[in-house]
Chain A
């Protein structure tokens, strides 16, 4: 079992829809959770982080954390073509571990 698992996608959504990206992790002691966005040919960029159970909203982005079920998700509301990228989930327990990333494609 991978330590941090994401569906590789591609996930395709129409413009204006809600994109839902999911991530599960194996280390129950994990404390910090991050979402990075990586455009094709570019470096990862931190877009969200969450430490506590529940939802955290920042503009069109919402991170959701459920430690009991060991999953963290990222919702992107009103998806735009400019949101097309690979989204990396990263989980920190004793060390930071990245998932393989989910490719998101937003179609106009």
Chain B
């Protein structure tokens, strides 16, 4: 089954404790991206990757890191999480560019 798999689904952590949210797609997509979704603000792009070893900042990259060492994986790293990073996070992929995105099931992150 074609899918984008994110883990974990829910995560509660404390300020400053490094965490990684994993994302993997099995559709051989070149493009992958991370979004956060907040009430009243909609979906905002954090980082994106056009291909392996190619990443770039989206609209809200501060406090996040990403890497794209393999085509299928695109982890999101929060080196020192803060409460303002409490949000619902989605990983997405597509065949090319940010058109026709396939979204993962989401990660609800709470930073205390």
Contacts and interface: CB of A to CB of B under 8 A. Distances in A.
A45 B101 CA distance: 8
Given A88-B42, A100-B41, A44 B98 contact: no
B99 A92 contact: yes
Contact of B99 (A45, A96, A99, A100): A96
A42 B42 contact: no
Contacts of B45: 95-96
B43 A46 contact: no
Which secondary structure characterizes the binding site on chain A?
strand
A34 B41 CA distance: 18
A61 interface: no
Nearest to B90: A43
A92 B102 CA distance: 16
A4 B42 CA distance: 10
Interface residues of B, number: 16
Given A43-B90, A43-B103, A98 B98 contact: no
B43 A98 contact: yes
A71 interface: no
Nearest to B4: A43
B99 A32 contact: yes
Interface string A25-66: 000000010101000001111100100000000000000000
5 contacts: A43-B103, A46-B102, A95-B45, A95-B98, A96-B101
Given A92-B98, A96-B45, A96-B98, 14 more contacts: A34-B99, A36-B101, A42-B106, A43-B104, A43-B105, A44-B43, A45-B103, A46-B101, A46-B102, A49-B100, A88-B42, A95-B98, A96-B99, A99-B42
* Among all A-B residue pairs, the 3 with the closest Cβ atoms: A43-B103, A96-B98, A98-B43
